[in-house]
Structure 1
Amino acid sequence: MQGEHPSLRFPEVRAAVEALAHAADLPPPLARGWDAFRADLFDWLGATCGFQLDNVRNQREHLVLLLANAQLRAGGTLPTDHPADVLHHSIARDIRRKLLKNYKTWCSYLGKRPHVHVPSGGRRVAQGVGPDTRRDLLYTALYLLIWGEAANLRFMPECLCYIFHYMALDLNHVIDQSIDIETGRPSVPAVHGVDAFLDKVVKPIYDVLEAEVKFSRNGTKPHSAWRNYDDVNEYFWSRRVFRRLQWPLSPARSFFIKPGNPGRIGKTGFVEQRSFWNVYRSFDRVWVILILFFQAAMIVAWDGHTPWFSLRYRDIQIRVLSVFITWAALRIVQAVLDAGTQYSLVRTDTIFLAVRMVLKVLVAVGWTITFIVLYVRMWNQRWHDRRWSFSANSRVLNYLEAAAVFLIPQVLALVLFIRILLLPTAARGLSCGARLLENSA
């Protein structure tokens, strides 16, 4: 979009193009034939980080349109004295925040500090961009260049976050003109050179995906034997990735070991095992409700009277409490099924997962034994006293106290589930209500 391009007749497009043109004072890249006065931020990033020329052109047009459209839509909210052909700093910042929202969330989840350093305020140039606005544009352009050249890696958003995390760090070092402590020279990106991003980042990861697909024999192998996009992407959900994969990418890392070779990394998240037991495991809460209700209904119906009449008797009430024994036993089944279907995830570096599986089984067994012992003690005391005496009722109270403790994690899980389910709906409702109020006003 240079010279007499037809789109330049729009002031918003001219503002976006002008904002991206301030690259003359940036550290010159190692590329030969660099002309700082004719290059813009995309040219500088392409030469510095090794992006392909066509990708640079495509993403330049992409960002220009994003900036121009955003400034056009925000025309009524901008200061009245702001020129239409000058990019407002809030436009660049809003687009950067939207594009990097997933990256910020990923960093927060892993407990990592984002490598996006933009001052909250700074010097601004009347007919151009200030240093902080240029940083907004550089981070946005870097992410778009990574996304544009990632090809099928776009199906792995957290993988792109990992790549951006380190490339943004390298970008910060270059912009700040940091000195490399190993060479004593100005820092250069770990990935640089002609088509370096494609050859050193995209292709190695894509080769892993290609090998997994071939190993799957067109998807006929069991799901636990090979990884798809989601499985590879889950590798980037853990802090271990920073220690095991590191940067720059090296083919010697275990991540790049092809299927069938020792040391290969398998699935790191959920493993789907083809089994009839998945009918129970996937819908365990539904099965628990149905089984417990059936047991309680059978106990009450066996008395031969109407439910509200039978439940007046203490014997029937105590027999209904046996549902907690069944509930604890069903938790044993669930814990065993979890261990049986997810055992392939256990490795040397995930030993905690094995410990958690064993603890789940032991806790479920412990609760089952506890309820059985307390239940038997209630009835023994009742038959010893020939009635529900004070001692027998004390045993009942002990049983109910144990049941209350047993229910605490179940209730918390239910509350969290309802909160996660209803929170987006409530937020949308409040947003719609606010819009209606604005329109009515």
Structure 2
Amino acid sequence: MRKARTKLNDILEWLASEFGFQRGNVANQREHIILLLANADIRKRNDEEYDELKPSTVTELMDKTFKSYCSWCKYLHCKSNLRFPDVCDEQQLQLIYISLYLLIWGEASNVRFMPECICYIFHNMANDVYGILFSNVEAVSGETYETEEVIDEESFLRNVITPIYQVIRKEARRNKGGTASHSQWRNYDDLNEYFWSRKCFKIRWPLDLKADFFLNSDEITPQNERLNQVTYGKSKPKTNFVEVRTFWHLFRDFDRMWIFLVMAFQAMVIVGWHGSGSLGDIFDKDVFKTVLTIFITSAYLTLLQAALDIILNFNAWKNFKFSQILRYLLKFAVAAMWAVLLPIAYSKSVQRPTGLVKFFSTWTGDWKDQSFYTYAVSFYVIPNILAAVFFLVPPFRRVMECSDMRIIKVIMWWAQPKLYVGRGMHEDMFSLFK
């Protein structure tokens, strides 16, 4: 990537000459970075007179700027391209990386609303910067950066931002002015989810316009597209979630609350219709045995929840990984198993009832004297007990959600879908106690 040599005044103009950023963007980001550094530096001074910028100020700004990028790299298990060889001035290279990120952000247009897409762009351009500065050799593929392309001040906008923007534009036109179903078109979040997994590297660098992300069945171009023209053709499936307008979301989204309310209502009705209706009647062995039927109700409600998970997400299955589909199917199979097993077990226990006292006092006694339904309920509630423990210890759950260790991901795979946004956002212990 080369152009005729001109006098360069700072690193932003050098970056613009190498990658084709616009002069207005360079001027804006120059003022932006100067103010960021000045404001961060002056907060560290206690009315001291100073002539130079503190080195720690640049490091602090870099940590804040690339916090999201480093988290993205860690999540994808890819090595960060923020590299600092021993032969370089570390502070100068830090300023180059910060300037590059701000220049990308300043010229990103609507792509700015896709933060992981910005991370992907920076990831590759930071690798380019490293190659240009150090022997001009690409660290991964071994190829040089020299190309025949002529760089002008609209190269970045034309070659990087415009292709991604056109995908956003075509998808936005599928919503037919807000009247189309959410399952028929992808919004910013749906498109950005493409960059939450390693498959985003399939679009390569420079961007391969034949990659799956850019392909669309219709080829309407900006030159012949009317402003009121709607994009038709087969749309790509949404990534992880498809919004379906239905009142069943009231149950699916608040399933814990509804299951608790139904179970509590059932228990109160059973106690109220047995004996005197006093709450103390629950300790009667016959009443307690009947109250245990709430777990059968819970099993059926859990089966309903698993079925809704499959039905309401079915439009997104085309783009699911096999592990995601397997999780939904196993959830449904396990829920169906309990919905069949618990009623059968309870029907057996009616013929040989066990009292409340025996239920607790002989828990570790002869298992043959115990009701099969008692054991079935015990195994059924184990996942709920573990979930309650995680709820009561938020720091532990937060660490597990944010961990990128593969063994932790396997453990969390069953408990919840794989999260990127919203990981580790549980209340701390102090707030929970309040």
TM-score range, shorter chain: 0.7 to 0.9
- C-alpha displacement at 1:278, in angstroms? 1.2
The superposition leaves residues 30-83 of structure 1 with CA deviations (integer Å, 9 ceiling, x where unpaired) of: 221322xx4210011111111111111111111111112222221239xx8xx8
What is aligned with 1:405?
382
Shift of 1:157: 0.8
Using the size of structure 1 for normalisation, the TM-score is: 0.78
Q: 1:151 to 1:267 in 2, by over 3 A?
A: same
Unpaired segments of 5 or more residues in structure 2? 219-231, 399-424
CA contact (8 A) 1:255 1:264 kept: no
Question: Which protein has the larger Cα radius of gyration, Structure 1 or Structure 2?
Answer: 1
Find out whether 1:40 has 2:10 as its counterpart. yes
Amino acid at match of 2:212: S
Residue 235 of structure 1 aligns to a residue whose secondary structure is helix
Q: State yes or no: 1:229 paired with 2:188.
A: yes
Moved more, 266-275 or 142-151: 266-275
2:111 paired residue number = 153
C-alpha change, 1:415 and 1:264, in structure 2 (3 Å) is: farther
8 A contact 2:168–2:187 mirrored in 1:
yes
Q: What does 1:297-312 align with in structure 2 at a 5 Å threshold?
A: 297-312=268-283
Percent identical: 35
- C-alpha displacement of 1:258: 3.2
2:44 aligns with 74
Separation (CA, whole Å) in 1 of partners of 2:55 and 2:122: 23
Q: Kindly provide the CA deviation profile for residues 145-169 of structure 1, in whole angstroms up to 9, marking residues without a partner as x.
A: 0000001111111111111111111
- TM-score of the aligned structures, taking structure 2 as reference length: 0.79
In the alignment, is the contact (CA less than 8 A) between 2:271 and 2:281 conserved in 1?
yes
Structure 1 position 172 matched with structure 2 position 130: yes
The residue type paired with residue 202 of structure 1 is: I
Q: Give 1:20's aligned residue.
A: none
Secondary structure of the 1:76 match is coil
Alignment partner, residue 436 of structure 1: none
- CA apart distance, 1:186: 4.6
Residue 30 (1) aligns with residue 2 (2): yes
Aligned to 1:104: 70
Task: Report the counterpart of residue 61 of structure 1 in structure 2.
Answer: 31
Q: Give the secondary structure class of the aligned counterpart of 1:115.
A: coil
Q: 1:339 to 1:190 in 2, by over 3 A?
A: farther
Cα distance, 1:211–1:400 mapped onto 2, change above 3 Å: closer
Contact 1:156/1:233 (<8 A) preserved: yes
Output the CA distance in 2 between the equivalents of 1:182 and 1:308: 71
Is residue 184–residue 235 contact of structure 2 (8 Å, CA) maintained in 1? no
Cα distance change of structure 1 residues 203 and 190 upon mapping to structure 2, 3 Å threshold: farther
- CA distance in 2 between counterparts of 1:183 and 1:404 reads 53
Give the alignment of 1:362-373 within 5 angstroms.
362-373=333-344
- Contact 2:16/2:26 (<8 A) preserved: yes
| Matched AA of 1:31 | K
Deviation at 1:354, TM superposition (A): 2.1
Matched residue count = 382
CA distance in 1, matches of 2:373, 2:191: 52
What amino acid maps onto 1:253 in structure 2?
A
Deviates more, 1:363-372 or 1:326-335: 363-372
